[in-house]
Amino acid sequence: MAEFLRSFARRDSWGRLLRSRGLVWTSALFLVAVALVKIVLPFFVSVSLVKENMETALSRWTGARATIEGTPGISFWPGPALTLADVRFDTEDGSAPFATARSITADFDLIAALSGKPVFYDFHLRQPVLSIRRAVDGTLNWPVPTWMSKAIRDAAAPDTGSRHGDPIGDIVIDGGTLDIRDDASGRTARIEQISGTIEWRTPTARLNANLSADLNGEAISITAICDAPMAFLSGRESGLQLSLSAQPFRFQFEGRGVGGQYPSANGQLQASVPSLDAVERWTGFAVAPDAATVPLSIEASVSGTASSFKMDNLALALDGASANGLLDLSLKAGVAPKLSGTLAFDKLRAEPFVALAPLVSHAAGHTSGIDLDLRVSAQTASYGPLTLTDVAAGIMANGERTSLDIGDSGYAGGSLDGRISLEDGGQKGGSVQLSLRNADLAALAGNLGLTGPMLQGDGLLSLNLATAKPLDAITARDVSGDIRYSGGGGTLTRFNTETFLSLIAQGRFFDAAEAADGEFPLLSSDIVATLANGVATLTKAEFRGDQQTLVLTGMIRFHSNSLALAGSLTTNDPARPAARFFAGGSWPNAVISPLATLPSE
């Protein structure tokens, strides 16, 4: 019974509501509003007038002549909006449209439209195409609108134009394209599938852009914030934030900047490359295969202008190694960009820098690449099996040549210095000049994979080698130059002079390993060898001991380790003739052939 009464009461309340005058008037007003929007308002708003005002507004904002080729349409629900089809923007020369759009939709103020002066805001651009071209003289085809020119002229004024209070609203881009061409270098770029929103309520309000796009087949995400865009364009300072995120590359900047005629920026920068092979696929620049998966990241305090860019408090991470320092990039018209600075590494592997050489030599859009003047230090540095300690080096690049100058660095208990030069990042070969003093030559031989009799002791080893072939494709046949060694006291390991003389005296062939049961103490040693076509020619090889002297001449082929050497082992005993022999076979398993003993005089 109680439930029946509650149900009856609810039905009764609904009945009173339906019979109330408030609901009747509300429904009537709603129907009148719909009728006004759908039937009456189109008679009071002139489509042609709104279209004409829209063309004028677009021309004023872009600085180009806007033309609407399609039939415009007006809708009034949920708010007044004008849609323009097939819009194009032409520059003064009229050679090609500066920009086009499949359609542009903009909201407008209804009261202003009824008065004949509509105000537009919240633009929606569908499939816009923007073409930017930089001429050989550096000028752009981008037209400068009058309001922007006035903003630049009035840079010192607190307000830069009378239209700065007009609303802009949100600019929505759907499927846009940006074409960029530089006539000076011939380079082009095309950014496709640009979509997102630019929030810009009024010209003096903060600009906030969130866009996505496709560049060279990679999806990228762009976020940009400018606290005071009009102040920025007019040459005054504004807060800036910019981030670019893609699979091959990530970039983020936060700080302050100045636009206008003399742009500048300063703040914090972060950039990272997960792997260099991703950069290769994205940019087309070749990277050495052994460094393809190398990661790179940078954090720094940056400041820059149109002619210079400086990174202080730089933290660089490359292939697991970290470095601190500063870098300064100079950009001057008519000359190649120049990068200078200092970097201090804890440990350094040189292969990634060789991989980066092609990127550096083609960077910055300059045909001659980028000039380098860097000072690099490292507690340890390695290239292949070679490891140096306490390294101090300078990297210089000018045009197609790159050189690495090594100061006194530690290696195998001794010191090493010299120069390594690359032509076109190593694609046209290079040269090596190195000097190694008082090092453990056995350690060097081990690093190079050499076995057999070896020198030990203090001395100076000099290498002067060159090739004209690409470094990633060279063989021993492609290297030429000379090797010199001059040493004091030491030993020749795995060589017993008495056993060797005894075997020679027997007059039979024997393996050099049969005389490897001792060492040859040395007072001095001198070696001179030339390299060409994969062959090392010994023009001089003398090993002088207290009682014996060993002399060798001949050649060794690198690709097979085969050798053909003529030698002699003499003693200080005039009654004992010189032991002359021929060494053939391959290193280190040489076969010794005794020759006829010459009579003593």
pLDDT in tens, 533-581: 889 999 999 999 999 999 999 998 877 888 999 999 999 888 788 899 9
* 48 within domain boundaries: no
Which whole number is the average pLDDT over 280-288? 62
Global confidence as pTM: 0.69
pLDDT above 80 for 100: yes
Per-residue pLDDT at 327: 92
Per-residue pLDDT at 529: 93
pLDDT above 70 for 385: yes
pLDDT in tens, 475-510: 878 889 999 999 988 899 999 999 999 999 888 889
Pair 465, 431: CB distance under 8 Å: yes
Secondary structure of 273-305 in the HEC alphabet? ECCHHHHHHHHCCCCCHHHCCCCEEEEEEEEEE
* 457 within domain boundaries: no
Secondary structure of 98-109 in the HEC alphabet? EEEEEEEEEEEC
Higher pLDDT, 560 or 147: 560
Report the mean per-residue pLDDT for the chain. Answer: 79
β 590-594/579-585 pair status: antiparallel
Which whole number is the average pLDDT over 349-377? 64
H/E stretch holding 44:
helix 41-44
Per-residue pLDDT at 14: 45
Higher pLDDT, 206 or 72: 206
Which domain range does residue 574 map to? 471-594
* 152 within domain boundaries: no
* 329 within domain boundaries: no
Per-residue pLDDT at 150: 67
Per-residue pLDDT at 581: 94
Which two tokens mark 446? 């081990």
* 172 within domain boundaries: no
The model's confidence at residue 9, banded by pLDDT at 50, 70 and 90, is: very low
Domain count, the chain: 1
Question: In whole angstroms, what separates CA 140 from the centre of its chain?
Answer: 26
* 453 within domain boundaries: no
Q: Which letter, b or e, does each residue of 522-543 get, where b requires 16 or more Cβ atoms within 10 Å of its Cβ?
A: bebbebbbbbeebbbebeebeb
CA distances (Å), origin 235, targets 92, 158, 198, 440:
26, 12, 22, 63
147 three-state secondary structure:
helix
In one letter, which amino acid is 205? Answer: A
* 481 within domain boundaries: yes
* 485 within domain boundaries: yes
> Which residues on neighbouring strands pair with residue 592, listed in sequence order?
510, 583
The model's confidence at residue 94, banded by pLDDT at 50, 70 and 90, is: low
Which whole number is the average pLDDT over 238-267? 90
